[in-house]
Amino acid sequence: MPSSSPETVGVEEEFLLLDPGTLVNLPVAEAVRKSLPEDVREQSRPEFRQSMLEMVTPVCTGLDEVREQLLRLRRAAARAAVENGARLVAVGATPVAEPERTVPDDPRFRAILDHYGPVVDDPAVCGCHVHVGVPDRELAVRVCNHLRPWLPVVQALTVNSPFHAGRDTGHASWRAMQLDRWPALGPSPWFASAGDFDRTVELLVASGVMLDESLVLWHARPSARYPTVEVRVADVCPSVDDAVLLAGLVRALVATALADIAAGRTGPAVSDLALRAAHWNAAHQGLDGTLLDPRDGRARPAWDLVDELADTVTAALVDFGDLAVVRRQLARIRRDGTGANRQRRAFARTGDLGSALIAG
């Protein structure tokens, strides 16, 4: 999704392919991809687990276009899954089990398996990644500094994986807890420049923490392939509405950061430890109760921080024409809850995990 403008946005969604009866992961991704119409297949990508399907929107300039593309891709992927005996599910972590955990026959995937060993055996997890166009890589690195204190709030809004092994894990995002086993994931460090970023990556590759420079998997990063900032903190969103909200907020955060940089303001030097604690808190609780504000270390009511985030990016939302959409979707989540809330509520009502995943 090449782009160089802060108005542009693209979304990558990872989905699970489940057995409709048992809800066990099915390793049929390649067959599903082959069943997609050719124009949709071009927007799909193979993933590390053969029970996962990634769909990638084209570069979009507005949230209406994002919505249209997400609907088109989800509908086509769901049809192709049914044709191959599977059910496409937008949930952040394997809800029951993944008996077949071999990686696709790809040299890159095999190298990761050899390097990281049993960590790679974890069952599939699915995220939603948002790309926002930026003018150059130096700015992309600096934008990531500005995003750091807000990404725990974004994470709390998008938690969507409370179930694993057929039961409630007690965490709103089991995906986030599972990914903590991997090195070089988690909050982006604060970097003084693109050169500082490159030197740090070189150090991590030399140590073996990263297999190579492509395994920069922080919550926000300059994309390795596109002239964008990529935000990777969210679980895959249960609905298109949730994904549109995520795209709108992330684009507005990036635009706000660019405006701050142009005005000579630097990103806050938030403690790495405080930031990790804030992300754990967000993944554990979602929007239930309090979130840690990493800027001052205080626990605050979760919706107070959501409201502050919305206020911070209001000018950008107005510029993009997104204010009404984002406000409407935030009001919906305040009323109906996050994906994790909705899954738990449906499961409590029916006792059926399959129904809970549909309700997510």
The C-alpha atoms of residue 186 and residue 119 are separated, in whole angstroms, by: 16
Predicted pLDDT of residue 109: 85
Contacts of 41 (CB under 8 A, 6+ apart): 33, 34
Q: Where are the domains of the chain?
A: 9-353
pLDDT digits (tens, 9 = 90+) for 203-213: 999 999 999 88
Residue matched to tokens 């409370």: 162
Q: What is the mean pLDDT of the chain?
A: 94
C-alpha span between 207 and 59 (Å, rounded): 36
Answer for the pair 80, 35: CB distance below 8 angstroms, yes or no.
yes
Percent of the chain at pLDDT exceeding 70:
98
Instruction: Record the pTM.
Output: 0.96
CATH number attached to the domain at 9-353: 3.30.590.20
Residue 270, φ and ψ in degrees, nearest 5: -75, 140
pLDDT reading at 3 higher than 60: no
Query: What is the structure's pLDDT at 6?
Result: 61
For residue 4, name the pLDDT band (cuts at 50, 70, 90): very low
**Half-sphere exposure of residue 64, counting CA atoms within 13 Å on the CB side?**
3
pLDDT 10s digits, 270-287: 999 999 999 999 999 999
The residue count for the chain: 360
- Helix 302-312, helix 323-336: angle, nearest 10: 170
Residue type, 299: A
Residue 176 confidence (pLDDT) above 60: yes
Joined tokens for residue 6: 């802060």
Distance CA 205, CA 183 (A): 11
- Strand, coil or helix: what is 4? coil
- Summarised one tens digit per residue, pLDDT across range 107-130 is 888 888 888 888 888 999 999 999
Quote the Cα angle for 305-310-312, to 5°.
90
Residues 44-53, mean pLDDT to the nearest whole number: 93
pLDDT tens sequence across 68-85? 999 999 999 999 999 999
Banded pLDDT at 2 (limits 50, 70, 90) = very low
Q: What is the CA radius of gyration of the chain?
A: 19
Tell me, what's the pLDDT at 304?
98
What is the average per-residue pLDDT within 134-154? 96
Q: Is 162 helix (H, G, I), strand (E, B) or coil?
A: coil
Q: What is the pLDDT of residue 359?
A: 65
DSSP conformation letters of 225-284: SSSEEEEEEEEPPSSHHHHHHHHHHHHHHHHHHHHHHHTTPPPP---HHHHHHHHHHHHH
